[in-house]
Amino acid sequence: MNIEVNGKRRDVQAATLAALLEELGYEDRLVATALNRNFVRAADRQGTELKAGDAVEILVPRQGG
């Protein structure tokens, strides 16, 4: 299905947020996730289903002031 990941539209196979992280190569990374602007805890990713048009943010630790 077609969803938005970090501001870019793309087609993905994954049906859940956890599967999406695996599909995109993040499964062993320290990341934070949000779905449609709502925080999704790591523990809840398995149970979070994706639908077409969803906007997902996958964020990593970065420099900041």
Partner 1 sequence: MENRPLAIYGTPLSSRLLVGTAQYPSPAILAEAIKASGAEIVTVSLRREAGASRSGESFWSLIRELGAKVLPNTAGCRSVKEAVTTAQMAREVFATSWIKLEVIADDDLLQPDPFGLVEAAAILVRDGFNVLPYMTEDLVLAEKLIGAGCEVLMPWGAPIGSGRGLNNPFALQALRRRFPHVPLIIDAGIGTPAHAAAAMELGYDGVLLNTAIAKAGDPVSMARAFALAVEAGRLAYCAEPIPPRDMAEPSTPQLGRAFADLPRRA
- Distance CA(3)–CA(11), nearest Å, equals 6
* Shortest distance, position 25 Cβ to partner 1, whole Å: 9
Residues 11, 13, 37, 52: which binds partner 1 (CB under 8 A)? 37
| φ, ψ (nearest 5 deg) of residue 21 | -60, -40
- Distance CA(53)–CA(2), nearest Å, equals 6
Binding-site size, partner 1 (CB under 8 A): 22
Residues 11, 13, 52, 63: which binds partner 1 (CB under 8 A)? 63
Q: Does residue 47 belong to the site contacting partner 1 (CB under 8 A)?
A: no
